[in-house]
Amino acid sequence: MRTLAIGRHKEIPGDWYDTPKEIWAFAQPRVAGGPVGIARRFLADNGERLGLGRVRGKFDRPRVIGSLGATHVIFRQRHRGRGIFRAYVTVHVGPDGRVYLCKNRAVPDAQLNGRGSFALGASRALRKARHALRGRRGPLRHIGATEEIWFPTRARLRPAYRLRVRCEHPRGEWIVLVDAMSGRILSKYDNLSQVRGIANVFDPNPVAALEDWRALRGSVRARTPPAAAYRTVELEGLTGNGYLDGRLVTTGPTRHRVHRPDHLFFFTSDQPGFEEAMAYFHVTRAMHYLERLGYSGSRRIFKVPLPINVRGTRDDNSWYSPGSRSLTFGTGGVDDAEDAEIILHEFGHAIQDAICPDFGQSEEAAAMGEGFGDYFAASFFAERKPPEYRNLVMSWDAIEDDERGLPRLRRMDGRATYRAFEKGGDCHDNGQIWSAALWEVHGALGRRVADPIIIESHFQLDGFTTFARGARAILDADRNLNRGAHVRWLTAMFRRRNIGPL
C-alpha cells in the first residue's frame, strides 16, 4: 500500500510549527498485523502530510497503551541520541485494526537545530532544582537518575537536565527542567497526586435522604441533620496508621486532621473529622468504580494516593489542582466536603487531568470540564436519589436557597444548545450546555453504556479542545467499545444541540 486512502480529514495547525497536530475522520483500509505495525505503516504512508520527513527515523521504540476500546501507540522523538521534551506522535488504532486518529507533537526537521553542550553538569543542575523548590519544609530528596534531554523553544532546541525531587512538607514529587548551559529553570511541576475502617457519611446528602428537607433550612452554622441523614459505611484500603491514609486516597494535606487508632471515624457533620471521612469514602469508592470499568493495572488512570485537603480555604469554593494533583475543599457556607456531589464534581476534574493533562485551557474546554464534573456526580448518585432529585446536583450545598423550589446548585436537564454558549461567560453556566448533552446520553443509553464512552472519549482530547471535538471523541469511543451501535443516535443528538460533531 503506497498511499493511505483518505476519504476526508481535518488538520489542526500547531502554535509553533506549520504542521498538522491532528488528523481524524478519514477512511483507512484495514491493515493486517499488530497495533505497532499498523501505526508504523500509517506514519510511513502519511509522513509528508504530517510534516515528519526524516523525523520518522528518530523515534524511540514505541510505547503501547490499551484502553477499553482501542490501542494507543506512542512514538517519542529523539535528537542526537537524547529525547525531546514532550515531542511525540500518537496513533490510535480501533478494535477493527483501523487507525481513527493521529496526534502529532513532533518537532519537524527544520526546527531540529539544537546546539550547545551540557556544560552545567548534573550536580549543579540538582542544586538549581533544589533552590527552585526553596520554602518547602523537610529534606529535598533527588530520586532516580538525572536525564539529559532537549527542551523545545520557538527558536531552537535547548539542552536541559530533567530531575525528580521529592519533598515531604507539603508532600510532592517535582519534575524540574534546568537549562544545561545557563542554569535557568525551564519548567517545574508536581507529579504526585489495607485496613478497613468504619465511618458515618452522607450518601450523597441529607436532602436526598430525608423526606422533610425543608426542616434542614436555617442557620448554616447551627444546622445538624438528624441521624436518619447518615449512613454507616466501610472505609477500604487504609494503611493502618490511624489517619485517613489509604492505597488510593489520603487526607494528608488537611491541617489538624483526625487520628483514630481504632479506625472508627464516627462524626456528625458539625465535627471536623466528618469532612475527611466523606472525602476519603466517596473518592475511594469512585476510584473503585473506575477500576471496575476496566481502568486498573496497566490501564490505571491515576497515580495514587490522591491527596485531599478538606479544609483548604474558608471561601465557598473548591478545586482540583493540576500542578499538585490534589483536591481542595472550602468551608464557606455549607462545608463543600459535606456534599458528596461536590466531592465527585471536583474528582471529575481529576479524572480529566489524569487522562489529558492540563485539561481546560480554552473557554470551551473549561466549560466541558465543569459539565463533565456535574455529569460524573449526577450519574454516580442517580440511583441513590429519589427521582425528583436525579436531575439536580449539589442540593446540600444549596440548601439555603429559598427561591428555586427543590434546592440545587445546578440542573442537568437543560435544553440550551451550543448557540447559547457565551464567549467570555461563566464556565459553570456554559458547562450546563455540555452536561445536559451528556445527561441526555445517560438517559437514552443508561449508565453502563454512557459512563464508559464518555470517560473513554477523553483519551483523544487535549487541553484546548472544543464541544465539537468532544462530541466526535464520544462517537469514536462508541465505535471502539460498542462497534458503533449508538453512533447514529449520538450524531443526531449532538447536531440537534448544535454541537457537531465536526
Within 8 A by CB and 6+ apart from 7, the residues are 26, 27
Model pLDDT, residue 7: 31
DSSP letter at 296 equals -
Model pLDDT, residue 1: 27
Q: Is 223 left (phi over 0), alpha (psi -120 to 50) or beta?
A: beta
Residue 2, C-alpha cell as written in the block? 503506497
| Distance from C-alpha of 318 to C-alpha of 315, rounded to nearest angstrom | 8
Model pLDDT, residue 31: 78
Model pLDDT, residue 485: 97
Residue 123, C-alpha cell as written in the block? 550536580
Q: Is the pTM for the entire model greater than 0.75?
A: no
Q: Assign domain 122-190 to a CATH class.
A: alpha beta
**In contact, 378 and 412? CB cutoff 8 Å:** yes
| Distance from C-alpha of 479 to C-alpha of 481, rounded to nearest angstrom | 6
**In contact, 392 and 413? CB cutoff 8 Å:** no
Give the residue extent of every domain in the chain.
Answer: 10-110, 122-190, 195-351, 363-496
Domain over 363-496 is classified CATH 1.10.540.10: no
The DSSP annotation for 418-441 comes to GGG--TTS-HHHHHHHHHHHHHHH
Asked whether the bond before 108 is cis by omega within 30 degrees of 0, the reply is no
State the fold for domain 195-351.
Elastase; domain 1 (3.10.170)
DSSP letter at 134 equals T
pLDDT along the chain (502 residues), means of 10: 34 57 80 90 88 82 90 92 90 92 88 80 93 78 90 85 82 86 87 75 93 68 77 91 93 96 92 95 96 85 92 93 94 93 97 92 95 98 94 91 78 96 95 98 98 97 94 97 97 96 72
| Distance from C-alpha of 432 to C-alpha of 411, rounded to nearest angstrom | 8
